[in-house]
Amino acid sequence: MAVAKADFEACQGYANCVMAAPTVYDIDDDGTVVLLKEQISEEERSKVEEAVKSCPVSALSIEDE
Ligand code: SF4
């Protein structure tokens, strides 16, 4: 099972991740990424990988558990 992780300290609120995978990421009122879910289905994985790559501060990752 793939799990989405986020470094909330590193996030600068660019929202690239929300564009890439809106079912997994959102931005809160403080401009910090929110994980809408952590368990990533195979169907969502490519979008999440795109989001990980798109983050300018490398705040996102996927771990296989
Ligand atoms: S792309 Fe990176 S910096 Fe931007 S909101 Fe997402 S996690 Fe934060």
Rg (CA), the chain: 10
Is the shortest distance between the CB of 52 and ligand 1 below 6 Å? no
Whose CA is closest to atom 4 on ligand 1? 14
Q: Which CATH class is domain 2-64?
A: alpha beta
Of the pLDDT bands very low, low, confident and very high (cuts 50, 70, 90), residue 65 is confident
What pLDDT is attached to residue 1?
86
pLDDT for residue 29: 97
Residue 51: phi, psi to the nearest 5?
A: -65, -45
Is the pTM of the predicted complex or chain greater than 0.85?
A: yes
